[in-house]
Each structure stands twice: as structure tokens, then as C-alpha cells.
């Protein structure tokens, strides 16, 4: 069975997983690809710190965001950002002035907000649901056509991934992932919030297709507008930090 937690960390290319262990250690070839200057994959920084996700994302803004999540701690960062947004929402704070997540906050994140806390509604590991949500969002602008898919397959073949993980990635890229499937994977509002946040990271809302995707996703996840505003606030703040880095 695929190690969903490892797959999520490999996707994000995070520096540390929960417990402080090294994440994405077998992604050394991603850094090597970046050093060789493959511009079509997003350039050195975003690719080197964005893991497998850096290979898939088409726009620079999304790659920068994914890179910042990786620097925060990969999979744990998704839980951190969602936790901060959800807490601000529960406390009735205004999204525009609510506090934003900091890397030091990871140690204080309550367990129920972390990806490994509970399975998704269909019983699969929640980490896998998050990966599926990110890939589905990355496909929203239609840039992963047959030609692009073959290019991604060729680049992923170069990575030091075990056969099972590589096969899982190929399946995610080649098979359709519907909005209904993403929405139905949330077992509760906290998971719905994190699935939206993971999707939001993969999308540049400056484009109409991506805005439409997010709007439809909010409906499928049945998220309150105020909570969505808090989640957007956390993503934008993290993106601003990535730009300033």
C-alpha cells in the first residue's frame, strides 16, 4: 500500500515532517534538475523546494507559494495554515486583520488539524485526499494536456522514487479527478478547509478558469464564505513571505 504521508511530503518537498525527520530525502534529483536550469519546470528556487508539485504547477505565483509551504515544513504546513485560518474564523476575527501563521506555530498545531489526524470520508488517508485535491486544482487551467503529461512523466521517471510511489503519481496525473470527488473526501469542516487551502495553493486566482474552479470547490465543500476569506488570507500572507524571501 502506498505511504500517503510520504507521498504528500514528497509532493511538497518539505524540509521536515512531523517529529523533525527529513522529508523528501529521495528527491535529490529534483534539485539536480533545477541546477541544470530547466526553465520550463519553473526555474531553480521553486523547483528545488517545491518537490513533485513544482514539476506540475504551470504558473510562477503558485510555484512560489508551494515553495514557501515546503520551507515551512511540507505536509505539516498545510495543517498549520488551515489551523490558523480556522481558529481565526472560530474566534470571529476579521480576515483582513487576523494573525497569520508563522513557522514557529507548527509545534502548537492541534492534532485534529494535521493531515494524519483522521482518514478522509471514504476511508483513504487524508494525505492522499490532499494530494488529489492539489493535482485536480493544478489541472484546472487545462495546461496539463497529453503533451505536457508526457513531459511530466519523462521528468518524474528521472526521480529517485520507488515503483509504487511513481505509479501513484502517474495515476494522479493521467486519471481525471472530479470536483465531486474532492468535495466528497472531506469528513468534516476542518478537513474541508484544508482541502480548499491545498487547492488554493495550486491556483492563480487572477485567471477566470481558476476562479471558477475555486468557486465551485467551495460549493462542493460547503464552506462558509467567512471561513474561505480566512483561508485566502493565510495563503496570500504566505505568498507575500515567499516573494520577500
103 or 234, higher pLDDT: 234
Checking if the pLDDT of 208 tops 90, the result is: no
CA distance 14 to 152: 20
pLDDT in tens, 9-42: 777 765 433 333 333 333 233 333 323 322 333 3
Q: In the block, which residue shows the cell 465543500?
A: 221
For residue 12, tell me if it sits in a domain. Answer: no
The domain tally of the chain equals 1
**Number of other CB atoms surrounding residue 146 within 10 Å:** 8
Confirm whether 55 is domain-assigned.
no
Residue 191: predicted pLDDT: 93
Q: Which domain holds residue 216?
A: 75-244
Residue 119 domain-assigned (yes or no): yes
In whole angstroms, give the CA distance from residue 47 to residue 28. Answer: 11
Question: Do residues 92 and 200 make contact, with C-beta atoms less than 8 angstroms apart?
Answer: no
Residue recorded with cell 503519481: 169
pLDDT at 91: 96
Distances (CA, A) of 230 to 77, 111, 123, 195, 237: 16, 20, 28, 14, 11
Per the domain annotation, does 39 fall within a domain?
no
Q: Is residue 6 part of a domain?
A: no
Q: How far apart are the C-alpha atoms of 105 and 170, rounded to whole Å? A: 34
Q: Which residue has the higher pLDDT, 191 or 110?
A: 191
Q: Among 49-53, 98-102, 162-166, where is mean pLDDT lowest? A: 49-53
Q: Does residue 64 lie in a domain region?
A: no
pLDDT tens for residues 177-186? 999 999 999 9
Which pLDDT does position 69 carry in this prediction? Answer: 67
Amino acid at each position: 500500500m502506498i505511504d500517503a504521508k510520504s507521498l504528500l511530503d514528497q509532493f511538497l518537498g518539505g524540509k521536515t515532517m512531523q517529529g523533525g525527520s527529513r522529508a523528501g530525502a529521495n528527491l535529490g534529483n529534483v534539485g539536480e534538475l533545477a541546477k541544470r536550469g530547466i526553465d520550463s519546470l519553473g526555474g531553480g528556487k521553486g523547483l528545488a523546494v517545491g518537490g513533485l508539485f513544482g514539476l506540475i504547477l504551470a504558473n510562477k505565483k503558485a510555484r512560489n507559494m508551494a515553495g514557501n509551504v515546503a520551507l515551512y515544513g511540507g505536509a505539516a504546513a498545510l495543517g498549520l495554515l488551515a489551523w490558523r485560518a480556522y481558529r481565526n474564523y472560530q474566534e470571529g476575527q476579521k480576515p483582513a486583520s487576523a494573525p497569520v501563521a508563522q513557522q514557529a506555530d507548527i509545534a502548537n498545531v492541534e492534532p485534529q488539524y494535521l493531515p494524519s489526524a483522521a482518514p478522509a470520508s471514504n476511508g483513504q488517508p487524508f494525505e492522499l485526499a490532499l494530494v488529489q485535491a492539489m493535482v485536480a486544482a493544478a489541472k484546472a487551467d487545462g495546461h496539463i494536456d497529453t503533451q505536457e503529461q508526457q513531459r511530466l512523466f519523462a521528468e518524474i521517471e528521472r526521480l529517485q522514487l520507488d515503483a509504487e510511489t511513481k505509479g501513484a503519481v502517474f495515476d494522479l496525473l493521467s486519471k481525471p479527478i472530479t470536483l465531486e470527488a474532492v468535495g466528497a473526501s472531506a469528513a468534516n469542516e476542518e478537513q474541508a478547509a484544508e482541502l480548499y487551502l491545498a487547492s488554493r495553493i495550486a491556483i492563480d486566482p487572477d485567471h477566470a478558469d481558476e476562479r471558477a474552479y475555486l468557486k465551485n470547490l467551495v460549493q462542493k465543500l460547503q464552506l462558509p464564505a467567512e471561513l474561505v476569506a480566512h483561508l485566502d488570507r493565510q495563503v496570500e500572507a504566505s505568498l507575500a513571505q515567499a516573494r520577500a524571501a
